[in-house]
A and B are shown apart, each in its own frame.
Chain A
Amino acid sequence: GAGVSQTPSNKVTEKGKYVELRCDPISGHTALYWYRQSLGQGPEFLIYFQGTGAADDSGLPNDRFFAVRPEGSVSTLKIQRTERGDSAVYLCASSPRGDNTGELFFGEGSRLTVL
C-alpha cells in the first residue's frame, strides 16, 4: 500500500506477556517514529530512527520497551513483561529523507490492551 502500515491493528494480551508491534513505513522514507497515545491524551514520543539506527530513544519509558529497524525499513516495537499501564494505541509514522519541516505520515495504530 501507499501509506504506513501497522500490524496488528488490535492486540489483547495478559499481564506479564511479551508483545511485538510491527510498522511498515512509506517506501523510501528513511525516518521512522514510534508514538504512544493513551486514552484522552495526545501522542507521546517514544523513539525515532534515521535509517537503521535509533537517533533518539529518549521517550522509551523503561527497559521493558525496545525497538529495532534492522534493514532501515520495517520496524518492530517490542514490549517485555507487559503491564496494564502499557495499554494504549501505539502509532508509527515515517517521513522522507531530508525533510526538516517535521511533517510525519502516520499509520492507523496498533491498539494494545493488557488484561
Chain B
Amino acid sequence: AQSVTQLGSHVSVSEGALVLLRCNYSSSVPPYLFWYVQYPNQGLQLLLKYTSAATLVKGINGFEAEFKKSETSFHLTKPSAHMSDAAEYFCAVKRMTQKLVFGQGTRLTINP
C-alpha cells in the first residue's frame, strides 16, 4: 500500500528564512504527488502537484517541490518565508486508485 511520511510535525522558521518541509513516499511506481495547505478555519487548498512531467514543480505563493525518485522524496521549499505562510501543510500521494492518501501534516510557524 502506498503511504506518505512527513518528517517533523512542527517546523518553525524566521521570517525571510528558507522553508523546507519534508515528504517521503513509499511506492514501487512513481505516483502522482501533491502538497496541500490548510490555513486556519479554511479548507485544504492545492499548492502544487507532480504528475510525471518536470521533476521540479512550481506552485502558488512562491513554493516549489522537487521529485527525487532515487530518494522517494517530494520536499517542499520556499526561499524566503512570509508571515502569511503560517499554516498546516500536507503531502499526499495518488497512484492506481482515485483516492489521495495524505501524510500526517506539518505545522509551519513563522517567527517575526
A residues in contact (CB < 8 Å) with B: 3-4, 31, 33, 35, 40-45, 48, 50, 55-56, 59, 91, 93, 101-109
Contacts and interface: CB of A to CB of B under 8 A. Distances in A.
Interface stretch (B12-20, B62-70, B73-81, B98-106): B98-106
A56 B104 contact: no
B49 A91 contact: no
A106 B104 CA distance: 17
Interface residues of B, number: 26
Given A41-B104, A59-B99, A108 B90 contact: no
Contacts of B36: 106
Contacts of A56: 97-99
A107 B38 CA distance: 11
B94 A102 contact: yes
A107 B4 CA distance: 23
A104 B100 contact: yes
Interface string B21-55: 00000000000101010000111111001010000
